Amino acid sequence: MRTLILALLLAAPAAAQPAGLPAAHARLAADYDQTIAELIELTEIPAPPFKEAARGQRLLEKFKALGLSDVHMDAVGNVIGIRPGKDRAAKALMVAAHQDTVFPEGTNTKVRREGETLHAPGIGDTTVTLAALLAFVRAMDAAKITTPRDIIFVANVGEEGQGDLRGVRHLFSASPLKSRIGDFISFDGSTVGGVTNAGVGSRRYRVAFTGPGGHSYGAFGIVNPMVAMAGTVTGLYKIVPPTDVKTTYSASTVTGGTSVNSIPNTITMEFDMRSASPANLKAVEAQFLKLVEDNVAAENAARDTRYGKISATPELIGDRPAGATPATDPLVQTAARVLKANGYHARLGAGSTDSNIPISIGIPAITLSAGGGGFRAHALDEYVNVEKANFLKGLTTAFDIVVEAASIKR
């Protein structure tokens, strides 16, 4: 069905090309060296989880230098600037790329060039798209493009890992801008060609299994929280996940214990569950929480509790909502049409991105990429392809989607 819908979308007649695109494309090409220089500059400003301030400050300066209006850094560190459209009262298009990377403080982010590739942690996920946003504004200004509605440019914080989408979550919950947003495009990654219109939701837990602990020989026979934890993991992997929409789970990290010759008093494990179906995610989560409860009870029944019982405390550490922007929505149609016109496959897909937040509250949102291709994301040897023709093709295609999306009426 999805293939049929996409085929119908791509068969639809193309909208009239917005005035000024050829001049804008020429500016994107002329600015290639500057865009690459900014990509390198921003990559070399570390932005570890929850520590994006230095990169944010530099982006704030760049947004101001571009002449965007109402440029500011909000309460959580998002950097925001507005390019006014003709109808200031219309619902705006928000275009965002995240500042943060997955790499911890102290990671070497020095960029190394090898031929047509640039290598550095975080360069493709997603510093390349921060540089793209800057290039987009310069090209619009050079071509004197005036969009029908405002475009709100955002370099947001907290997309990765336990950042839990905190930057975009703030924009759609506590920001004065929240009521103004009609559509949302997140740029994330450098491999152009797909449209992420479905948000893979996640529920993440840190569970502390605790007990009295004791000497491994002298207190042998008392309850052990490790057993309840192990039972929970084993039970989790016996769950048969739904197959209508991909649904997954993982036992991900474990810490705790006192020594090799001690029965532990605390063992902590983190668990991850994901699905683009809210119902599937809820069902797996309910089974998981019951497993925790049942395995604690089983261990307390199986062994000696004279020094105390074991217990478990599940702590929700990640909550990304699931949902989808329909394939028939004008935002999805626009992106698919422009991608196809530029020779890309325009496949629809699902992912866990900043778009999850607006999708979950009914605001049309998609995630796209910009550039010449990114590889080895989340690895120390991450790299992007910056061969000029391919890079500019991806950048120009992403630019055209933004310009056309700014014409959608909401």
pLDDT tens for the chain, 410 residues: list them: 444 444 444 444 454 566 789 999 999 999 999 999 999 999 999 999 999 999 999 999 999 999 999 999 999 999 999 999 999 999 999 999 999 999 999 999 999 999 999 999 999 999 999 999 999 999 999 999 999 999 999 999 999 988 999 999 999 999 999 999 999 999 999 999 999 999 999 999 999 999 999 999 999 999 999 999 999 999 999 999 999 999 999 999 999 999 999 999 999 999 999 999 999 999 999 999 999 999 999 999 999 999 999 999 999 999 999 999 999 999 999 999 999 999 999 999 999 999 999 999 999 999 999 999 999 999 999 999 999 999 999 999 999 999 999 999 99
Contact indicator for 72, 155 with CB cutoff of 8 Å? no
Burial per residue of 283-308, b for 16 or more beta-carbon CB atoms within 10 angstroms, e otherwise: bbbebbbebbeebbeebbeebeeeee
Q: Count of CB atoms within 10 A of residue 266's CB? A: 16
In the 8-state DSSP scheme, what is residue 34? H
Q: CA Rg, the chain, in Å?
A: 24
Structure tokens at 286: 């309910």
**What domains, with CATH codes, occur in the chain?**
2-199+322-405 (3.40.630.10), 201-320 (3.30.70.360)
Range 3-10, long-range pairs (CB < 8 A, 24+ positions):
5/327, 5/328, 6/327, 6/336, 6/346, 6/347, 6/348, 9/327, 9/328, 9/332, 9/333, 9/336, 9/337, 10/336, 10/337, 10/340, 10/346
Tell me if residue 208 falls in helix, strand or coil: strand
User: In whole angstroms, what is the distance from residue 158 CA to residue 91 CA?
Assistant: 25
Structure tokens at 28: 């994107």
pTM of the entire predicted model = 0.89
Contact indicator for 265, 224 with CB cutoff of 8 Å? no
- Which helix H or strand E contains 126, and what residues bound it? none
User: In whole angstroms, what is the distance from residue 199 CA to residue 405 CA?
Assistant: 20
Tell me if residue 401 falls in helix, strand or coil: helix
User: In whole angstroms, what is the distance from residue 22 CA to residue 30 CA?
Assistant: 12
Q: Count of CB atoms within 10 A of residue 264's CB? A: 21
Contact indicator for 252, 273 with CB cutoff of 8 Å? no
